Amino acid sequence: MDEEKESLGRVGGMRQCHSVPSPSSAMKEGSLPIPVIMERLLSRMKRMARYLRKNGITLPGSIYLLARLSEHVGLRTVAMRLYATALRCADASSSRFVFGGRQSWEFQGERNLARLGRGQVVDPLFDCNACPDMASAVPNDVRRRAPGYYQVFMGYRGVSIDGFLRPGLGMSELDVLVDGKVICRLTSARDLFGFGVFALDISRAAVAMLPSECDLSLRLANGDMLLHDGCGYTKLHIPHGRCSGLVFDDEVRLDKKGFPVNATIDIAMLHRGFMEVYGRARDFFDMSWGRPLFVLYGTLLGQHRNQGIIPGDDDFDVGYYSDADCSRDVLSEGMAIAIALVEAGFIVTVNRGGRLFRLRLPGFPPACHLDVHAIWHERDRLWVHPMASLDCNREDFLPARTGSLNGMSVYVPNHPEAFLEGYYGADWHIPNPAYSTAARRFPRWKLRFLKRSCVTPKQLTWMHGQIKSSDTGGGALIATGLQSIYPLERYEELCDW
């Protein structure tokens, strides 16, 4: 097929022709077309694999899948009862997987109730939907040669995009566009059998900034478009969105995690908040535990390069070195530190994987937190969440050195280059704005090993019982994944998405 194929898409409310990838641009020499049935099978397998990674195989998860199936075939009343049963089982479960699944199950259950006319909560996402724009459908011979495929669906966090690239493209950058305007760039991760996989959740706040009726599309950096069920565009229906065009411009952007960020105002305020929280936490670790609280990951990169937080960075990573020699003891120590922090007036949160912990001050927004990581040595490797298994040793961290970050004194590892090169690679000193931890290749057995230092719901209940002071000065222990998302206003006061 030598001639260029075209599909129709909406740009700025008007129809315009867009090229759909041809075999010469979408495929390397020797690559084979992907049959439509295989594309559909791979899409569903990838989505199921993503579900299993987050939710595992548990009793509440199995009941939830039955509820979804019942809802899909129109048995909404049966689904209503099954959703309620799944949530009750989740609340009684001791599995870590509940941290990652409960809120999604709650969202689906409440949306089903709303569609039955028995809604008990208000959520603007209940009325949103996403479907392929059939006006942009391509012939099957073009579909089989597309560079990649994706699905779009509404979830509790916003609009979820999930897809894969054909073998041979490896790790590639993709642009996410709405009405022809790029709102985000992400990087695929190379998965098994050579397929590059990717996923993005466009946050609730970002969804509200989109037009009420708009077209979403994905393309590679060279302009080749990916397909959604054989269509170049996905129609988004967002009743609570804006009536006119996009809000995104040079001052407001969508970051790699799917959140809108104001580059001139919000980030500067966030960075000041980070430094205040760090100063309090550093002093606490010095006085109460006699150990330094290092800056790590991207925060250490910024400090090492120019003694400042990387412009646009929306997280702040720190860590402490543990002399425990096994993950079980690291977990016990982390639980004790978390309890002491709550009693000292800090807000400690556990993420949706059960990892200890995030840290912020009372009165600060949930986004203004430190990601605190335990650092320990086991099996001749140095381990750090979320995905670090490095050939480093204790002497690379201790004794700690002091440095300056945004004008404040901070602790840095004794040999920061060893950590940075071990984690980011030999080119760590070259800035890479598109870098994403999610795109890193990391063996599954190492992820399972790191999971041993995460808490279970049962351990979290024990921690609540150990907090002695009745007046913690605003301190609290919060499990993000176990927190009900309704009412939305209350959830957003306690946790971020």
For residue 294, the SS3 value is strand
The pLDDT score that the predictor gives to residue 496 is 87
Give tens-digit pLDDT for 16-61: 444 444 444 444 444 678 899 999 998 888 888 888 888 888 999 9
Burial class (CB in 10 A: 0-12, 13-18, 19+), 7: buried
Please answer whether residues 309 and 316 qualify as being in contact, where contact means their C-beta atoms are separated by less than 8 angstroms.
Answer: yes
Prediction pTM value: 0.86
What the block records as the tokens of 270 is 């966030």
Neighbouring-strand partners of residue 236: 130, 214
DSSP type of residue 227 = B
Cα–Cα–Cα angle for 88, 94, 98, nearest 5°? 65
pLDDT at 248: 62
Query: Exposure of 283 by Cβ count < 10 A (0-12 exposed, 13-18 middle, 19+ buried)?
Result: exposed
Residue 201 has what pLDDT?
Answer: 93
pLDDT at position 265, please?
A: 54
Measured from the Cβ of residue 171, the count of other Cβ atoms closer than 10 Å reads 15
Element (H, E) at 47: helix 36-55
- What is the model's pLDDT at position 435? 64
Which amino acid appears at position 25 of this protein?
A: S
Q: Which residues pair with 401 in a beta bridge?
A: 412
pLDDT tens, 290-319? 999 999 999 999 999 999 999 878 899 999
pLDDT at residue 2, as a whole number: 40
Q: How far apart are CA 294 and CA 291, in angstroms?
A: 9
Q: What single string gives the DSSP state of each residue in 255-269?
A: -TTS-EEETTTHHHH
Cis amide bond preceding 399, omega within 30? yes
The C-alpha angle with vertex 112 and arms to 110 and 117, in degrees rounded to 5, equals 95
Low-confidence ranges of the chain (pLDDT < 70): 1-31, 170, 190-192, 244-252, 262-265, 432-440, 469-472
- Max Cα–Cα distance, the chain, nearest Å: 74
pLDDT for the residue 13: 36
Going by DSSP bridges, is the β-strand pair 370-378/189-190 parallel, antiparallel, or unpaired? Answer: unpaired
Hey, how many other C-beta atoms are within 10 angstroms of the C-beta on 363? Answer: 8
> Taken in order 278, 281, 283, 285, is the CA torsion positive or negative?
negative
Rounded CA gap, 447 and 88, in Å?
29
Q: What is the mean pLDDT of the chain?
A: 87
d(CA 298, CA 25): 35
